[in-house]
Amino acid sequence: MIAVLGPGGVGGLVAGALAHAGEPVVLLCREETADTLARTGLHVTSRALDEDFVAWPRIATTLDEPVDALLVASKATTLSASLERVAPDAPRLVVPLLNGLDHMEVLRARFGDARTRAGVIRVQSDRPAVGRIVQDSAAVRIDIAGPETDIPPVAALARALRSAGIETRTGASEADVLWSKLARLNAIACATTAFDATLGEIREDPSRLSALHAAIAETAAVARAEGADVDTDTTIAEVDALRGDQSSSMARDVAAARAPELDAIPGAVLRAAARHGIATPAVEYLHARIAARA
């Protein structure tokens, strides 16, 4: 059994894909959301999976029974409250799919180091309404730090995710897993939110494009100082190849007057930069613009 904590764009997509593939999965959410999902299921429209389907994962508000793995897909801003729904001894393996870095310390404090593995998801997925998931990026990929062979739940989780059509990679270091995503995400989230613009609109403005690329370069430099193998030019090329209509969940949060993950995403970069004495003027500029809008 796999448990997914959080029914948003990421958690809903993963839980829906697993359930649609016939994998046993329980989706943990708040009481009012649970009532709705029990009636409607999850309606998933996925470009990466090339499917439009309704999935019926088991719905629960708390977890105190043993599960093979827990995928944590809540927002960083609600992580502490969400974790109260899970008994500390329930999961054999804990893999977060959150943005940023600081959640790793929180999860290890609750579940222990031996059971907690760093993970990230690369996807563009949104929840426009409860029970409605729209995933529109060309691919979805989950990276899990460390090898599959040291503890059995990692291999079992990877097999289940792959059976659901989700590309899953294992074996990289924790620093590489976390920072390879953050180098992209921080720049995309900050630029699209600070300028209230899509990537295509940013590309049409040389000054905004320069800020986007500078944020990538600065974050990549911090990543390397943190021990990650992140190449600036490769990361810029990856971001430049993304569709022009792409925005970010942070931009959507600010537009909807929800609290953005400002501390979890650029905040994590700025704190690490300060530890290493690395200048990050572009990230600081974008952070300040977002703070003024939020």
pTM of the model: 0.93
Are 165 and 50 in contact, with CB atoms under 8 Å apart?
no
**How many residues would you count in the chain?**
294
The pLDDT tens digits for 188-223 are 999 999 999 999 999 999 999 999 999 999 999 999
Question: In 3D, which of 84, 79, 104, 102 has the Cα closest to residue 94?
Answer: 104
What distance in Å separates the CA atoms of residue 201 and residue 203, rounded to the nearest whole number? Answer: 5
Note the pLDDT of residue 125. 93
What distance in Å separates the CA atoms of residue 187 and residue 10, rounded to the nearest whole number? Answer: 20
Tokens for 137, please give them.
């990026």
Q: How many C-beta atoms lie closer than 10 Å to residue 50's C-beta?
A: 7
Average pLDDT, the chain: 95
Note the pLDDT of residue 211. 97
Note the pLDDT of residue 187. 97
Which regions of the chain are under pLDDT 70? none
Note the pLDDT of residue 149. 81
Note the pLDDT of residue 14. 98
